[in-house]
Structure 1
């Protein structure tokens, strides 16, 4: 069972990323509803936990929720 305190979700400031990075993350997406890639995302919000960082938004094509996980390199 996971420890809820250690899995606390923090919202990050997506707009603090460079314009280029924002564009890449918002255009290189996968929609599980449409089953298509690179449809785009709108209304992004960035989150983090101890183990991962991700962006949640809405698919530009269908409006369903979509998530892009970010792998941050050292």
Structure 2
């Protein structure tokens, strides 16, 4: 049986982000299948865990899974 505390990954509403942030994250991608950057992403799902935030979606060109990790910058 799995301990509930081990499941730390949570789905977050990507579309709650400001529209300009959404567009930046959807545009600034890397596809390991196409070996190209900034092709774009569809069907985004945002995840958080204890240490990081990332968005998973599908490459606009080939539909392979793409993952963009979000790094919060200190200002």
| TM superposition score normalised by structure 1 | 0.89
Q: SS at 1:24's partner residue?
A: helix
Structure 1 residue ranges without an equivalent (≥5): none
Q: How many residues align?
A: 71
Separation of aligned partners in 2, 1:54 and 1:69: 4
Structure 2 gaps, min length 5? none
Greater gyration radius: 2
Query: How does the TM-score come out when normalised to structure 2?
Result: 0.88
Taking structure 1 as reference, are residues 72 and 7 closer, same or farther at Cα in structure 2, changes over 3 Å only? farther
Aligned Cα RMSD in Å?
1.4
